[in-house]
Amino acid sequence: MILIIDGHDYHYEMESLCDIFLPYEKVTVVYGNRTNFQEYTEEILAYTGYVEQDGKAHLTAALQFDGKQSETQGDCLLDTPDFERRCGLEMALLLYRLLVSACSYEPKWGVLIGVRPIKLLRRLREEMGEQQAIDYFRKDLLVSEEKTALSVRTMRHEQQILSLSRPDSFSLYVSIPFCPTRCAYCSFVAQTLQQTARLVPRYVELLCEELACTAQVAKELGLRLESVYIGGGTPTTLSAEQMAQLLDTITETFDMSTCREFTVEAGRPDTVTPEKLDVMKGRGVDRISINPQTLNDTVLKAIGRGHTTAQTFDAFALARQHGFTHINMDVIAGLPADTFPSFSSTIDRLLQLSPESITVHTLSLKRSSRLNQNGQIQVFHDADLAGQMLGYSQQALTDSGYLPYYLYRQSRMVGNLENTGWSKPGYESFYNVFIMDETHTIFACGAGAVSKIKDPYSNQLERIFNFKYPHEYESRFSEMLERKEKAKHIFLRYLKNSQSL
Ligand code: SF4
């Protein structure tokens, strides 16, 4: 598809909208004047144009889709307060309406394209008060009543966690980018153990070195650790000995006395063993995540998860036997071969297990995933089905006493829906809330990890990227340590700036 951008800077918003409606299309952005669509051979063409005249920005959106052309216009007064935002929204609405009409499909999140709707809602509440923020979601952004209500519940609920963060707070993320096999929907940089088993011991050694360096930086900055999250990949692909080496390094180098939560993502149930659970329990891990994604073996096969439903139940029982009193379980709505009865049965059976938290994801159609390349998802049909699945989970979880405590969206999700973390009261994950809200600095270690250095007194935030792949991480490791020093200087600069204000 060709998207022509004429005279404005809203290309990101326009492209994101096209992605929502046409996730399989590669959108090529062209900058230029209004051109006759016939000059292009592509079947789908969109145009958005901006011209200033008589104190107004005149906006045009046009679309060629399925052999038909449509066009619409709007305007925005140049002296409108908050002109940039208003004008961008007006332009988005014009294109949105054309796409809704052409595709006969209305996304439940309206024109909202960001990944952090709750953060946006909170900011709007601060600016205009809660009721007006809600009205803005409904009337300006065209967010459905259902998603607005879910956002409000989540915002109110996560407030208690956010209020625990202090200017000197930070959290720690540790990346284990290895998995037993690669799931068909995966777009992460995780490597299968088959390809990379020989890299793991050295990787763990270097990771421990980076952690020790990070602990030193945190100490020098006088920061206080709030939460630790070991994710991936599948951290439990490490052997019990490697896990012990990693956890010992964390607990010996960081001051854990203030840490509210220590999570290890056990991801694949087939990687959970009594030895690894012993190691984790013995070193203070108090939250683990066992992720079935579905409790339907046919669906598990279709997505190449390489484990069975029985293994999920076994891993869960084993974790309980080892004294884990906070277990999270992830499921995904919209998986290929899944049906409404199968998904609702997954939710019902999970509720019978009664984990402390359940995260309901929506399948994301990343371009690099095998699923997307095989074209196994039918966008609009599956959007409706995924919507029904989320609706069911929302009702069932609410009825069982779970509350939504964090919510985020990704690009290219089936139906442009969302991921929601639900928990029993008192079992919210601190880390999930802090990372999604960008509340405080997150130091991240390991391949593919991204540190976010946050100004404690403003919304300023700088990202520092580690190398993506384990082999790069290993061969250019000294740069990783240099980047931790850089993180320290960024934080010190923030402090200095705040003092000079
Ligand atoms: S377990 Fe997660 S990270 Fe690993 S291959 Fe599957 S989706 Fe990707």
Span 316-364, pLDDT tens digits: 999 999 999 999 999 999 998 899 999 999 999 999 999 999 999 999 8
Number of the ligand 1 atom closest to the C-alpha atom of 177: 3
- Based on the fold, state whether residues 184 and 262 are members of the same structural domain: yes
* Cβ–Cβ under 8 Å, residues 206 and 445: no
Instruction: Among 176, 186, 193, 236, name the best residue to mutate to test ligand 1's pocket (greatest count of ligand atoms within 8 A of Cβ).
Output: 186
- Nearest residue (by CA) to ligand 1, atom 6, is 183
Q: How many A from CA of 99 to the centre of ligand 1? A: 33
Answer whether residue 427 is part of any domain: no
* pLDDT for 483 beyond 90: yes
Number of the ligand 1 atom closest to the C-alpha atom of 305: 6
Strands 45-53 vs 2-6: parallel, antiparallel or unpaired: parallel
Number of the ligand 1 atom closest to the C-alpha atom of 268: 1
Q: How many A from CA of 191 to the centre of ligand 1? A: 9
* pLDDT for 383 beyond 70: yes
Domains identified in the chain, total number = 2
* pLDDT for 420 beyond 70: yes
pLDDT score at 394: 97
Instruction: Determine the Cα–Cα distance for residues 494 and 480; give it in Å rounded to an integer.
Output: 21
Q: How many A from CA of 306 to the centre of ligand 1? A: 11
Domain holding 47, by residue range, is 2-104
- Nearest residue (by CA) to ligand 1, atom 2, is 233
Q: How many A from CA of 314 to the centre of ligand 1? A: 20
- Nearest residue (by CA) to ligand 1, atom 5, is 182
Number of the ligand 1 atom closest to the C-alpha atom of 179: 4
Answer whether residue 147 is part of any domain: no
Number of the ligand 1 atom closest to the C-alpha atom of 190: 3
- Based on the fold, state whether residues 88 and 182 are members of the same structural domain: no
Answer whether residue 413 is part of any domain: no
* Cβ–Cβ under 8 Å, residues 222 and 491: no
What does the pLDDT look like over 65-124, one tens digit per residue?
988 999 999 999 999 888 999 999 999 999 999 999 999 989 999 999 989 999 999 999
pLDDT score at 498: 85
Instruction: Determine the Cα–Cα distance for residues 351 and 424; give it in Å rounded to an integer.
Output: 11
- Based on the fold, state whether residues 190 and 271 are members of the same structural domain: yes
Last residue of a domain, one of 51, 85, 104: 104
Answer whether residue 441 is part of any domain: yes
- Based on the fold, state whether residues 20 and 100 are members of the same structural domain: yes
What does the pLDDT look like over 154-213, one tens digit per residue?
999 999 999 999 999 999 999 999 998 888 888 776 667 777 888 999 999 999 999 999
Answer whether residue 368 is part of any domain: no
- Based on the fold, state whether residues 95 and 176 are members of the same structural domain: no
pTM of the model: 0.93
* Cβ–Cβ under 8 Å, residues 164 and 260: yes
pLDDT score at 370: 64
Which residues are CB-contacts of 60 (< 8 A; sequence separation ≥ 6)? 34, 47, 48, 49, 71, 72, 73, 94
* Cβ–Cβ under 8 Å, residues 403 and 94: no
Instruction: Among 175, 182, 290, name the best residue to mutate to test ligand 1's pocket (greatest count of ligand atoms within 8 A of Cβ).
Output: 182
What's the Cα-to-Cα distance from 182 to each of 24, 177, 288, 305, 370, rounded to whole Å? Answer: 21, 11, 21, 7, 9
Answer whether residue 100 is part of any domain: yes
Q: How many A from CA of 175 to the centre of ligand 1? A: 13
In the structure, what pLDDT confidence band is assigned to residue 375 with cuts at 50, 70 and 90?
low
- Based on the fold, state whether residues 90 and 182 are members of the same structural domain: no
* pLDDT for 28 beyond 70: yes
Indicate the average pLDDT of the chain: 93
Pocket of ligand 1 (CB under 6 A): 179, 182-183, 186, 188, 190, 232-234, 267-268
Which residues are CB-contacts of 232 (< 8 A; sequence separation ≥ 6)? 175, 176, 177, 178, 179, 188, 190, 265, 267
Q: What CATH number does the domain containing 57 carry? A: 3.30.160
Last residue of a domain, one of 57, 76, 104: 104
- Nearest residue (by CA) to ligand 1, atom 8, is 186
Return the number of other C-beta atoms located less than 10 Å from residue 214's C-beta: 25
Answer whether residue 211 is part of any domain: yes
Answer whether residue 20 is part of any domain: yes
Q: How many A from CA of 179 to the centre of ligand 1? A: 6
Say which amino acid occupies 472: E
How many residues make up the chain in this entry? 501
Last residue of a domain, one of 89, 104, 119: 104
Q: How many A from CA of 233 to the centre of ligand 1? A: 5
pLDDT score at 174: 98
- Based on the fold, state whether residues 174 and 269 are members of the same structural domain: yes
Mean pLDDT in residue range 252-272: 97
* pLDDT for 125 beyond 60: yes
